[in-house]
Structure 1
Amino acid sequence: MRLLVITYYWPPSGGAGVQRTLKFVKYLPSLGVDCTVITVDPERGAYPVLDASLAAEVPAAVRVIRTGTTEPFGSYQKLTGRKQIPYGGFANESKTSFQQQFFKFVRGNVFIPDPRRGWNAHVLRACEALFAAGERFDAVLTSSPPHSTQLIGLALKKRYGLRWLADMRDPWTNIYYAKELNQTAAARWLDARYERQVLEQADEVLVTSPDTKRLFLGKSAKLTDAKFHVLPNGYDESDFREPSAPPTDALLITHTGTISEIYHIELFLAACGECARRHPDVNLRLRFVGKVSQGVQELIRDHELQERTELIPFVPHDESVGYLLRSTVLLMAIPDVDHNFGILPGKVFEYLAANKPIVCIGPVGSDADTLLEECGAGRAFPYVAFGDMLEYLETQVAAWRINPNLDLPPLNHARYSRRSLTERLVRLIPRP
């Protein structure tokens, strides 16, 4: 079988967005699938973070075609004087100025569905060259965000009748930062129209959680349940070859990834502060690896945890996994936004693979909460459940006094390995 993969995020891009497609492509050749990847030239594209180490995971047999692009981020950086480009919905902007509000409005009303749509024409020209040279593929997989990438799949479907798998890692018009874009009614209509066209025309739609599937199914009466496939993010067994090594001199709680005020961990921080005061003999510590907003840093100070907290900027993926293995407990938070029951971060599966107790701050009964309970790894606490959070921490303190290694027994998560999930993807490539 031959699969054409179109993805904007690809090494040397780092962060969560690149992991899913990279891991699929890593295992596809060993499962009998010949892959060609079309992505953006890193000299022309714009990535929020870089991780050059991920290039080593691309199999030698995979052909990678890099194209130019036409995007506004260079102008944005010149006008603002900022080196870092904004995340999809300016999610990495904590407190925004009038200037930032203006750029959000432009982002939401001029660049629909997103500013990377200028890449599409470059990709379509690359595809035309492939087909003109006699190349044939059993299917094309388009991965998003950016959701403008799905419009490439739509165009290929119309022009060539190519079987099309639309892999949608996040919601589209219901993405958690949608309200921040201040879209006009006309912009919302056009964005929803694009979304509906993609969902109706794709042969198969891949999503990462059951709730996201329910969300997309409600977008059109023409959609059927059979079109949607829940293939969650997962963990790569090869990333977890090092042994677990929790500290013996501290009860260390680690969070990896972006964290900002919308995750509402203030009461968890308050519970940590109170627990530390109640149990001064236990060295309770916090570690955040990745982007931590200024607002969250202020909360850490407000709860007198600054001396107990280590802030580590973005690190390569293998180093991030190492921090998980050198922890006692892992912290996960779900943003307090609309439709957050379907948010199932990719890192939760790596948390599971680390076999550490997981405390999740977010909605009870969500897909994340269900996964943690199903695997016996932890539970979710509502944002306001200060008492329950404090009780949980004190339980961990009591267990830590007996044995500072709180690692869980091997969990029931084998079906979430990247290879297992890729095997499920392979079954969707041929036409029924």
Structure 2
Amino acid sequence: MQRCLKWVKHLPALGVEPTVITVDPAQAAYPVLDNSLAADVPPGVRVIRTGTTEPFGAYQKLTNRPIPHGGFANEGRPSLAQRAARFVRGNLFLPDPRRGWNRHVLRAVEQLLAAGEQFDAVLTSSPPHSTQLIGLQLKRRYGLRWLADLRDPWTDIYYTQALLRTAAARWLDARYERQVLAAADAVITTSSDTRRLLLGKAAELPSGKFVVLPNGYDEADFGAPSAPPAEQLLITYVGTITGQYHIEPFLREVAACIRRHPAVPLRLRFVGRVAREIEQQLAAAGLLPHTDIVPFVPHDESIGYLLSTTALLLAIPDVPHNFGILPGKIFEYLATNKPIICIGPVGSDADHILEENQAGRTLPYDATAAMAEHLDQLVGAWQQNPNLDLPAVSHARYSRRALTERLVALIRG
């Protein structure tokens, strides 16, 4: 959502007039909302809010359970009822349960065109990947230039196995994916590995229309100074984290480091959605007394947590095709000039970005000896100087404005 929001923020100043079609929040259902981000929409931008038809509200009322986060991050081990809901979701709602919004959007676009309005391009961003079927229909009906922005893989997305799909459902979902990739004038991805993955879906796909346009950070969000705490060595993670991120070995090494250095006040801080299994891992490692867990906060507050830490923790889910997983937070992490500890695959797109910016180190999931060594080095450096901020370097190529300039070039063809 922030990706599209920041594009909309910068497009008018770059000579492109966006019309945003989105859902009326009163008619849709989401796990969390951050209304503070609406302030980034320029006053002159037209925003059309439509109705929608989706099952999430009914699911919440019938089961008295919260709406699933992306990748079922808030469900942990699913109950029988949750497994049944996943089966229905994965087989009766293709590509996903948000598809009921599509007809409302198509009607809104039809009304705009019937009123004589003209548009140079259509941009659809997903997931939910059902949004791409809107672009497919608009391309077929009106021949509009169409940019399909896929922030994550489609049929290969890491939680697809949890949807319990039948062979017929997998076939249909893959068919939708191929149709979108073939018909779009440009396919935008957030990482090189995701580009490679999508390009391999069919032999006849032209590589030239597949473009990598990563996420980034908004320089305006980082006006406050860095404020690492002097009284403790604080490692902060911001965002959602579940058992799929495989940080349990790292947590055990943090606990061991605390035992080796009892005089150093080493603490962990998680800001955002922390799955129950992570809390259990923290408890098993004896880290709960050394850990702060802060529930979801608005985006501007999350930036404050990034700036008020010693170091930052990044984790890549331990799932298939994770070399192309490039969390949007990595660019905001870079903007803080804090040292970054990444738990994930070496050689991944995230690892390459950390390496080229000399911003931190990627540690494989079970590399406990390397974790212990790295934590000891961090402790030693902190004892010399509690401010471990890295030398300020320019990350301008990842600024939201610079990335929007590249988007404008794609829009204009």
Output the amino acid matched with 1:68. Answer: G
What SS does the aligned partner of 2:19 have?
strand
Deviations 1:16-42 (A, max 9, x none): xx1100001000000000110000000
Partner of 1:28: 11
Aligned counterpart in structure 1 of residue 50 of structure 2, from 48, 67, 70: 67
Does 2:336 align with 1:354? yes
CA distance in structure 1 between the aligned counterparts of 2:205 and 2:62, rounded to whole angstroms: 43
Which of 77, 91, 114 aligns to 1:95? It is: 77
Residue 305 (structure 1) aligns with: 287
1:4 alignment partner in structure 2: none
* Residue type of the alignment partner of 2:297: V
The question of whether the paired residues in 2 share the 8 Å contact of 1:90 and 1:104 is answered with no
1:52 aligns with 2:35: yes
| Correspondence for 2:173 among 178, 185, 191 | 191
Deviation sequence 1:9-67 (CA, Å, 0-9, x none): xxxxxxxxx11000010000000001100000000012221111111100011100000
Q: Is 2:366 the counterpart of 1:387?
A: no
Structure 1, unpaired ranges of 5+: 1-17
- The answer as to whether partners of 2:126 and 2:152 remain within 8 angstroms in 1 is yes
Q: Which runs of no fewer than 5 residues in structure 2 stay unpaired? A: none
What is aligned with 1:290?
272
**One-letter amino acid of the counterpart of residue 36, structure 1:** T
Q: 1:314 deviation in Å?
A: 0.4
- Find out whether 1:129 has 2:107 as its counterpart: no
Name whichever of 329-338 and 220-229 sits farther off: 220-229
Aligned pair 1:162/2:159, yes or no? no
Residue 14 of structure 1 corresponds to none
SS in structure 2 at match of 1:280: coil
- Structure 1: distance between partners of 2:69 and 2:167: 23
Code of the aligned partner of 1:46: A
Per-residue CA distance 1:216-263 (angstroms, 9 max, x = gap): 000011211101110000000000000000000000000011111110
Amino acid at match of 2:222: F
CA contact (8 A) 1:233 1:346 kept: yes
Structure 2 equivalent of residue 418 of structure 1: 400
Displacement of 1:92: 2.4
TM-score, normalised on structure 1?
0.95
Query: Contact conserved, 1:144 with 1:170, CA < 8 A, in 2?
Result: yes
Aligned to 2:2: 19
Distance 2:389 2:71 in 1: 36
Q: Is the 8 A contact 2:249 2:366 kept in 1?
A: yes
Segments of 4+ moved more than 4 angstroms: none
Please give the alpha-carbon distance, in whole angstroms, between the structure 2 residues aligned to 1:322 and 1:331. 15
The Cα of 1:163 is off from its aligned counterpart by 0.1
TM-score (norm. length: structure 2):
0.99
Secondary structure in structure 2 of the residue aligned to 1:59: coil
Structural mapping, 1:370-385, within 5 Å:
370-385=352-367
RMSD: 0.7
Structure 1 position 250 matched with structure 2 position 232? yes
Match of 2:158 among 176, 185, 190: 176
Distance 1:322 1:76 in 2: 35
Asked if the contact 1:399–1:406 (Cα under 8 Å) also holds between the matched residues in 2, the reply is yes
Alignment of 1:225-244 (within 5 A): 225-244=207-226
Amino acid at match of 2:82: Q
| 2:271 matches 1:280 | no
Is the 8 Å Cα contact of residues 28 and 57 (structure 2) preserved in structure 1? no
Aligned residue number for residue 342 of structure 1: 324
**In percent, how many aligned pairs have the same letter?**
69
In structure 2, what is the Cα distance between the partners aligned to 1:360 and 1:45? 35
Q: Which string of whole-angstrom CA distances, capped at 9 and with x for unpartnered residues, describes residues 107-165 of structure 1?
A: 11010000000000000000000000001000000010100000000000000000000
| 1:203-242 correspondence to structure 2 within 5 Å | 203-242=185-224
Q: 2:381 aligns with which of 396, 399, 404?
A: 399
Q: How far did residue 206 of structure 1 move? A: 0.6
Deviations 1:250-283 (A, max 9, x none): 0000001111111010011011000000001100
Structure 2 letter corresponding to 1:222:
E
CA deviation after TM superposition for structure 1 residue 412, in Å: 4.1
The answer on 1:117 being equivalent to 2:132 is no
Q: What is the identity, as a one-letter code, of the residue corresponding to 2:62?
A: L
User: In structure 1, the residue corresponding to 2:13 is in which secondary structure?
Assistant: helix
